[in-house]
Each structure stands twice: as C-alpha cells, then as structure tokens.
Amino acid sequence: MSKAIVSPHSSRSRVPAWAPAAIALVLLAAPIVAIGAEAPAAASPGAPPTWVQRSNEHAQVLLQAFARISPEGAGQMGVAGFDEAIFDLGPGFIERNRATGEQAATELERRLADEQDAAVRQDLEIMIKTVRDNLKGAELSRKYEMPYFSVSSTVYQGLRALLDDQIPQERRQAALVRLRKYAGVEPGFTPLAELAQARIRERMDPALLGPVQAEVQKELANSQTYVDGIGKLFATYKIKGYEKPYAALKKQLAAYDEFTRREILPRARSDFRKPPELYAFALEQVGVDMQVDELQSRAKVAFKEIQNQMQSLAPLVAKQKGWSLTDYRDVIHELKKSQLVGDAILAHYQARIHEIEDVIRRENIVTLPARDMQIQLSSEAESAAIPAPNMHPPRLIGNTGERGTFMLPLQVPGAPGEKKTFDDFTFEAASWTLTAHEGRPGHELQFSAMIERGVSLARAVFAMNSVNVEGWALYAEAELQPYEPLDGQLIALQHRLMRAARAFLDPGLQLGTITREEAFRILREDVVASDAMATQEVERYTFWSPGQATAYFVGYSRLLEIRGDAERRLGASFDRQKFNDFVLAQGMLPPRLLRAAVEADFIPVQTQKTAR
C-alpha cells in the first residue's frame, strides 16, 4: 500500500496536516476508479452498538479539528462541507494548527475523565495518542528541519480528490473553486506557491537541516507531470472556466520551481540521514514496537531463511517450465521475460481476482463481500505520487457505495530520458501475491470490512498506522501462498524477501551502516527487483518516508505471533476463517490492542463453543 507521510508544517510533506496515518494514506493514495451509476451501495451494518455511537460522537472533536487544518484531507475521508476549502498556509499557520491540536487533545482528555465504558475509553485513548504524537512530530521537525513543500504535488492531490469518477458530478464543480483558491484568483486568497515561498524564507536558518538533495531533484523532475495532470483532470471531467486560473497556476508553479532551484537546492543536503531523534519517532509513528537492533537482527535472519526457501523451490519451477536453471535469481529473471502488455494487463488481473476469490471460498480463508473488486492502471501523475502498487481506500465516513481500488503503476516518472519501467508486476506469476496484498484478502478487504461492519471511527481512522495496515496485507499474501502454482509461490516468497530486506536496509541506511550502493545491489541482485523498483525503494528509505518500509515485516511478525498463540491455546478448535474475520472486525487496532482483543474476546468465545 501507499506509504504514509508526515505533515507539511513539520517540513517534509506533500499533504497538509498533523494527520493520523490513516488520513495521510488517504491523501497520498491515487484516485478511485469509476464503478458506474448502477454500482450497489456498501452493505449496511445496521445500527452500531451504543458504545460505537458514543465513541463516534467523541471522534467528531478530532475530525472537526483536522478539517480546520486540512479540509482537503477531511473531505476526502468523507467529512462533509469542505469540498471548496483549502488548507491554510498563511503567516502563523503552525501556531494556529498547534493550538487546534492542543484544544482537541484537551477536550478529549476531559471526556476520557468522565467516560466509564471500557471500549469507549480505549477509543478516546487512541485519539488522544494520535493528537499528542502528531503534535510531538511537528515540534521535532520544527526543531531540526527547514520547511520544504512540494506545491505541485499538493495541488494535484487536492484537486484529484474531487475530480474522480466516484465523486458525484455536482461535487466535482467544487474543484474549480479550489483551483481558484490555490491560484489566488479567488477574492481574499494568496497563491499557494507564494505562501509556500514565504513560509520557507521565514525559517531559512543555517542551523536547520535543508531537505534531501535527491528529494528536491525528484520533485522538480515530477513537477511538470503534476501540472499536466491537473489540466488533464479538468479537461476529462469537462469543468468549464478552469482555463484562466489554471494558466495563472502554471506560471506560479513554474516560478516556485525556479525559486526551489535557486534558493532551496543550494541548501539541500547530500546526507539523507535523519537526526536519530527524528528517525526513532518516525519508527514509532508507523507502529514499530521493536528496538532497531532487534528489528534488523530478526529481518536479516528472515531474509536468509526466505532465500533458502526460494532456492529450494526454484528448481521445481524451472523443471515445470522445462528450463535447466537452478538459482532462484535466474528463474525469476526468466519468469519476468513473459511480460503482459497493454490491455492484457488489466484483463489478466481481473481474471486473477476471480481465481483468488475461488481459492478463498474453497479453503475458508476469510469471508468475502458479495461484490467485485476494482483495479486500475495508474496515470503518469498518479505514478509520480505513488511509484509503487497501492490500494486507494474508499472514503471511510459516510460511504454510499464507493469502493477501494487497486492501483498499478507501470512507470516511475521523472525528467525526460529518466523514466524507469517496472517489470515486477506485469508477468503472470506476480499477479497472485500482488493481488492478495493490495486486493483480496489484503487491503481491499481490510477497508471494506471496516465500512461494512461499522467499526468505530477511532479504530477505523485514528488507530491506523503502517504496521497494522501492512502487517495484515503481508499476512494475506502468506494465507494464499500454499494454494498458488509453484511460480506464484516463488514470487510470493520474493515479495516476502523484499519486506525482510526493507527491515534492515531502511535502518541501515539511516544509521550509516549500509550505503545506497549496497542497498541497490541487494535489491537488484538478491531481491531481483527492477531498476525502477529498486529506485523507488531506496527513495522511500532515504527521503520519501524513512522508517515506514520496516512496518511490513514488523506487522506481519506480530500478527503471526498473535495467531500462533491463539492456535496453541485453542488447539484443534482453532478456526482460521473465524480468526481472520475477527481480526478484520477489530478495525485497525495496533498489535498490542489486537492481542488484548484476541485474548479477551476471540479465545474465550471459541473455547465456550467447543465446550458445548
């Protein structure tokens, strides 16, 4: 799934806010594909329990605070009334945002003191932690970093949130108002690009760290892709009157890019490593609950064990294909030679989805919804925003049938002559595990379950971090792996190898114990990733979102530990489908709280049923 990011007022983001990881993921993810007017609404979970209703009332405090800081993000999540609003980057915006966050935290803490219900109290604690953590992150970033904004990307994301096939036509018109505000042609508004320049100049303190040089260069290379993408959106959705504000915006963004080259790039640093305090906080924010030494040690052992499994399986795949190869690297390279092209890519993945669903039903892995899953190839601008396969979640609040979409990029955009093409996702063997991760039983089912089962907002939105999101999706890959053909199983192991590599490469790069060259070599040679994939991976570890890539391995490890303990406690009465359904029904609880729920609710209930 898409990587979470930090807030722009804390210096390094393309989205505005001290948002929880869930909101950051929604903002960073690509837009949703059309489902047609006849698409069914999501299944109604009925009236939620009383405690959920009360928890959701408390959640309004945080949702409204977030909407004041990041109206684009709140609107995309489903908070009503913010389609025309844009975030505030005027003088003193950091202080205003901090005050808004403090007020929300104080009010939630007051409500916690009066709340008696244990489940509601837990939700309040989740929300308070979300606010306090984000306030802490903003302060740490302000302490160490010079501000830097990718304005082209921010504007593209804000407009793409409204110009989408699943957004009703009457709401799309708000994109024109939003465009006029970004361009500063709406009365009372200053161009966003000018505000960004002013906020950066205010804090061009030599004592603060400039942005990473590679990040700035990447954003400059992608800027025109975003600008062109904005024009294509308005043309595609036939929004009248966009031409003049769009022309003004293009000039402003070009001027901002020139400002970036002239004043920011000379301040940019070649050393991508974050200060230790910032990196430790980044790991904490994505949900990592292991010490870095333990994380790297576990990951290195897992990496070697997975390689051994791949080496045992590769000759069987080769024999089945009639090849005389034995090394897993050579077998994967050979499998990659049979690339799907053009329309065949979507057709193949759509067919694969149905094959996987048949397996899930036959093997009783998890309960499936009674509707189809969606997949879409990413546009060039969408690929620039997220240069990796991802699930764009549906809106989590007020959902009326919108569905999540599995987004598949085919290129990493960049400067002319520098575009890189993936070969990692468009061969048949790869579609098994990739669909399991981004689709079913992975992310798509994760988000569908929350919407359709009526999970509290605290557990669906504010508890969410990369560990509990990506841990489930990697677990979903493993659940499907035994039922795949041999070549599919080999690629499933390859993807698991990548997640183990992330868990020691990311901290190794940040701690200075691994070089970029070593990371590229491991990814290209041992993981057998394409140059495009290796590039986006190293960019993720070094500047897009340091720390986030470790979350897959940690989340998967913790979920396996929880399941293993449940199996030992229940013995022959353990039911995999009931366990998996139970996990999904908890929303996005982090491992510590998920374990408590399994021990308090799942194991006793299953034990009682067996005793009967």
Q: What is the pLDDT of residue 552?
A: 98
Higher pLDDT, 267 or 15: 267
Mean pLDDT of the 342-358 span = 91
pLDDT computed for residue 376 by the predictor: 82
Q: Say whether pLDDT at 504 is over 90.
A: yes
pLDDT at 12: 44
The stretch 334-343 carries a mean pLDDT of 90
Output the pLDDT for position 447.
Answer: 87
Q: Give me the chain's average pLDDT, please.
A: 88
Q: What is the pLDDT of residue 39?
A: 27
Structure tokens at 133: 């953590």
Percent of the chain with pLDDT over 70: 91
Q: What is the pTM of this model?
A: 0.89
Q: How do residues 220-251 score in pLDDT, each as one tens digit?
A: 999 999 999 999 999 999 999 999 999 999 99
Q: What is the dihedral of CA 108, 113, 116, 117, to 10 degrees?
A: 30
Q: How confident is the model at residue 94 (pLDDT cuts 50, 70, 90)?
A: very high
**Residue 238: which region, alpha, beta or left (left: phi > 0; alpha: psi -120 to 50)?**
left
Q: Does residue 31 sit in helix, strand or coil?
A: coil
- Evaluate whether 354 touches 372 at the Cβ level (below 8 Å): no
Mean pLDDT across the stretch 3-12? 34
| pLDDT computed for residue 26 by the predictor | 30
DSSP string, 277-320: HHHHHHHHHHT--S-HHHHHHHHHHHHHHHHHHHHHHHHHHHHH
Q: How far is CA 157 from CA 147, 152, 230, 440, 497, in A?
A: 19, 9, 9, 26, 32
- pLDDT of amino acid 209: 96
Which of 42-51, 322-331, 346-355 has the highest mean predicted lDDT (pLDDT)?
322-331
Q: Is the pLDDT of residue 44 over 90?
A: no
Give me the pLDDT at residue 415, please.
Answer: 54
Question: What is the maximum alpha-carbon separation in the chain?
Answer: 75
Tell me, what's the pLDDT at 27?
27
More confidently predicted of 389 and 67: 67
Asked whether the predicted pLDDT for residue 42 surpasses 60, the reply is: no
Is the pLDDT score of 2 beyond 50? no
What's the confidence (pLDDT) of residue 40? Answer: 29
pLDDT digits (tens, 9 = 90+) for 292-318: 999 999 999 999 999 999 999 999 999
pLDDT for residue 189 is more than 50? yes
- The DSSP H or E segment spanning 375 is strand 374-377
